[in-house]
């Protein structure tokens, strides 16, 4: 007599794992000037601040890099905003 498979193996459901810190997270749509500021800040820091002070340069590079990454996330993940005509 053939064994019958359990009902659990027949019905496979995809269970989405949501972590507690990402469950209600929605990226904010940032203006394009935010990305421009981060790019200009990175360039300014690399060419002017690094020769003057390496400690300040590292701090500014971290800040402007975080701004740039935030603007990239905002570009790809933020919802589209509809404008009234």
Residue 10 lies in a domain: no
- Give the confidence band of 20 by pLDDT, cuts at 50, 70, 90: low
pLDDT score for 23: 67
The CA–CA distances, whole Å, from 71 to 6, 19, 35 equal 49, 23, 6
Q: Is residue 55 classed as helix, strand or coil in its secondary structure? A: helix
CA distance 78 to 33: 16
Domains identified in the chain, total number: 1
Residue 20 lies in a domain: no
Residue 51 lies in a domain: yes
Residue 18 lies in a domain: no
Which tens digits make up the pLDDT trace of 37-49? 999 999 999 999 9
Residue 65 lies in a domain: yes
Residue 38 lies in a domain: yes
Residue 68 lies in a domain: yes
Residue 82 lies in a domain: no
Domain that holds residue 44: 29-77
Which tens digits make up the pLDDT trace of 63-85? 999 999 999 988 887 676 677 77
CA distance 28 to 43: 25
């Amino acid at each position: 007599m053939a064994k019958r498979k359990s009902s659990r193996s027949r019905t496979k459901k995809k269970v989405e794992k949501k972590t507690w810190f990402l469950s209600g997270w929605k990226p904010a749509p940032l203006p394009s000037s935010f990305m421009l500021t981060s790019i200009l800040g990175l360039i300014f820091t690399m060419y002017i601040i690094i020769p003057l002070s390496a400690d300040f340069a590292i701090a500014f590079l971290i800040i402007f890099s975080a701004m740039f990454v935030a603007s990239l996330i905002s570009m790809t993940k933020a919802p589209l905003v509809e404008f009234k005509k």
